[in-house]
Amino acid sequence: MNAEKVAVVTGAGSGIGKAVALALAGNGYCVVLAGRRAALLEEVAAQAQASFGAGARMLCVPTDVCDPAAVESLFAQAVARFGRVDLLFNNAGRGNPPGSFLDWTPQQWRDVVDVNLNGMFYCLQQAFRTMRDQTPQGGRIINNGSISAHAPRPNSAAYTATKHAVMGLTKTAALDGRAYNVAVGQIDIGNAMTDLASRMAKGVPQANGEIAIEPLMDADIVAQSVLYMASLPLEANVLFHTVMATRMPFVGRG
């Protein structure tokens, strides 16, 4: 159990963020829930209270990660309530605009970049500052990458480009974190059952032009992987961790 540890989870109102937030709460963490929709955050906090009696260890902070001032306020509120931040699960993200990238507007492109890359940077920057200045110094950051950080899907230019960029952000932050006892890693997830991935069960375009239904795994499996990464002492780090539905089309050709 980690009763004295404090985690910030972005995108905590649904999907993988919700699963991770609840897993952390069940493992004794104080959890700061960040997301755009306050009602969803309150539902997660209520579920944590009902399941684990963890209501007093939950803090809901409605946050748009695209807004640097809002992200700064998120971490200030976390420290004001719990005293420090030991873990950031840097999770907030969005998918591609619909259809072919040939038809996307510049704003649609910017909207994906603003959440998936800029927002992730703002959160990482504030986590670094907080972890640098607290006593004892240090902490852990886990960025939510994607299998798309390694291999694209058709018509996925915005999402794939941002997730490749997140990989570079993880590597450089892992290097820069050494000076402040901050360990930075990345989890690359393939086909977890969330609203974002639910279309996989109905059939999605493959690299060879076919439409195929893809296997999915429960988001709670991802949460267990994050718990493992978070459980390590700061002298050890999982730099990249891939967890995926075993039979999804990623390893192989075609």
**Residue 88 belongs to domain with CATH number:** 3.40.50.720
pTM: 0.94
Specify if 250 maps to a domain: no
**Cβ pair 45, 60 in contact under 8 A:** yes
Strand partners, 248: none
Catalytic annotation present for 228: no
The arithmetic mean of pLDDT across residues 75-94, rounded, is 98
Q: Which residue is it, tokens 């990458």? A: 145
Specify if 254 maps to a domain: no
The arithmetic mean of pLDDT across residues 11-18, rounded, is 97
The arithmetic mean of pLDDT across residues 217-241, rounded, is 97
Least confident of 105-114, 131-140, 191-200: 191-200
Least confident of 105-109, 118-122, 211-215, 233-237: 211-215
The arithmetic mean of pLDDT across residues 63-68, rounded, is 98
CB within 8 A of 179, min separation 6: which ones? none
What is the spatial distance between Cα 200 and Cα 211, in angstroms, rounded to a whole number?
10
Count of domains observed in the chain: 1
Other residues' Cβ atoms within 10 Å of the Cβ of residue 97 = 19
- Name the active-site residue from 29, 122, 159, 228: 159
Query: Which tens digit of pLDDT belongs to each residue from 141-192?
Result: 999 999 999 999 888 999 999 999 999 999 999 999 999 999 999 999 999 8
The arithmetic mean of pLDDT across residues 65-86, rounded, is 98
- In the chain, alpha helices (H): 15-26, 38-52, 68-82, 106-113, 120-133, 157-176, 219-231
The arithmetic mean of pLDDT across residues 121-134, rounded, is 98
Of residues 21, 2, 1, the one with CA closest to residue 11: 21
pLDDT at 207 over 90: no
Specify if 249 maps to a domain: no
Domain hosting 40: range is 6-244
What's the DSSP call for residue 234? T
Specify if 199 maps to a domain: yes
Specify if 119 maps to a domain: yes
Residue 100 burial (10 A CB sphere; 0-12, 13-18, 19+): exposed
The arithmetic mean of pLDDT across residues 82-105, rounded, is 96
**Cβ pair 66, 59 in contact under 8 A:** no
What is the spatial distance between Cα 22 and Cα 13, in angstroms, rounded to a whole number?
10
Specify if 251 maps to a domain: no
